[in-house]
Amino acid sequence: MQTRQFAADQAAALAEAFQARTATVGILGMGYVGFPLACAVDKAGYHVRGFDVDPSKVERLTSGNTYLGHMTDEPFAALAASERFKATSSVEDLAECDVLILCVPTPLDAAGEPDLSFVTASTQSVASVLRPGMLVVLESTTWPGTTREVMQPILEATGLRCGEDFFLAYSPERENPADAHFETASIPKVVGGVDDTATNLAASLYGSIVCEVVPVATAEVAEASKIVENVYRCVNIALVNELKVVFEKMGIDVWDVIKASATKPFGFQPFWPGPGLGGHCIPIDPFYLSWRARQCGTEAKFIELAGEINTTMPSLVVERTLEEAAQGPSGDRRVLVIGVAYKPNVSDTRETPAATIIEQLQSQGCDVSYHDPHCPRFPSMRKYEIDLASVPLDASTVRDADVVLIVTDHDAIDWSVIADNASVIVDTRNAMDGHETAGRVVKA
């Protein structure tokens, strides 16, 4: 009875701190998810501790300088100027927090299975400062059961009990870098706790930060909802990528088909083909669910098939590029790649199909260069070491290439330079639609 009363008193005190904005919120991981969340939490009136293990990020957070390519210095400077914000790489600074939110990577390992090393390391950091009355929330995309089965035992190894001494919940991130319409505070937030008290507390916190909170029955439901969001995109992109290949054999332009289908005002949402999947979410997250399915003795066949289709796209693009380059006037097959970020208008190259495409082209003896206004140098990646820097996009550079290969269609690219000067254009994004190219475009 005393234990239940203690838990109720702790929860009531925390809820009151949320209402009064006297709580301090610590955010572990100040990347594409953690930084905009910190901005939203600060704007809501809370004290914020932005924690990151990378000292250079902490230095830039303190000085107000951006390290996210799709963002200017302005939001960084605004956060740095806030009296409520402090950036830190010291775990001890998190001890003063009432809430700790984990926004850390969840990649795949070399075997293509979930890598929760960042989650477990961050949870261990939380455990080192955990005290009665704290709320801990995971935002990283992961397999259903992670919050309860992985995080809770680490936290309870301190001797504190979940639901009695501290509270634990899951609320998936829904960031979309470079989105001009939605930001953290304007995106509804799904929340699920390991018990009802945790759900209510997390809902109370996020309800004071974002436009709408969607409480669900359990942490597992919240975890699964995020996976489903990305599976939905993964399988639909796989569908149109397969249709691209099928319709090409029929002499039909898949982009024209999708545009026509999209005029239906109900029952259809357009997805567009491309050179392969990129980013941290769609190429990775669905396989967290297929892995979990195998652990539970079943299969997620649709996910596996979609992954198979999407991962073949870079090779198909390379094959088409080589066919076109072989027809060029030079013998060394010079290929100019346009865009290496995984999507338009960002500098993020995580899991970008451009890496696979460039490596395969180089292995076939092609002289590859690239232009990307957001990526001045190709970054070191987990599976690739591509030693290239962005070249200027001008008439001379375009004319020197046997093939111009469009991988990412940034708004900042001057497409008229390509249209006016390229001898052959392999277009994976339909970027040249509307430009006069006199039959020099091959869609792939």
Instruction: Report how far apart the first and last C-alpha atoms of the chain are (Å, whole number).
Output: 67
Q: Which of 234, 281, 366, 375 is catalytic?
A: 281
Contact (Cβ atoms closer than 8 angstroms) between residue 355 and residue 279 = no
Contact (Cβ atoms closer than 8 angstroms) between residue 369 and residue 352 = no
Residue type, 321: T
- Residue whose token pair is 């088409």: 320
In DSSP terms, which residues pair with 336 in a beta bridge?
Answer: 369, 404
Contact (Cβ atoms closer than 8 angstroms) between residue 185 and residue 209 = yes
Does residue 281 carry a catalytic annotation?
yes
Q: What is the DSSP letter of 91?
A: G
E-state strands within 186-265:
189-193, 213-215
Q: What gap in Å lies between CA 133 and CA 355, rounded to an integer?
A: 46
Q: What gap in Å lies between CA 47 and CA 265, rounded to an integer?
A: 45
Contact (Cβ atoms closer than 8 angstroms) between residue 137 and residue 104 = no
- Residue whose token pair is 């309800």: 207
Task: Give the DSSP H/E element, type plus range, for residue 152.
Answer: helix 152-156
DSSP 3-state of 265: coil
Q: What gap in Å lies between CA 416 and CA 426, rounded to an integer?
A: 15
Q: Calculate the dihedral angle through the C-alpha atoms of 287, 293, 298, 300, rounding to the nearest 10 degrees.
A: -30
Q: Which two tokens stand for residue 192?
A: 């699920």
Q: Which two tokens stand for residue 231?
A: 């599976």
DSSP for 385-429, please give it.
Answer: ----BBPP-SHHHHHH-SEEEE----TTS-HHHHHHH-S-EEESS
In DSSP terms, which residues pair with 372 in a beta bridge?
Answer: none
Length of the chain: 444
- Residue whose token pair is 């904005």: 21
Query: Where in the sequence numbering do the catalytic residues fall?
Result: 281
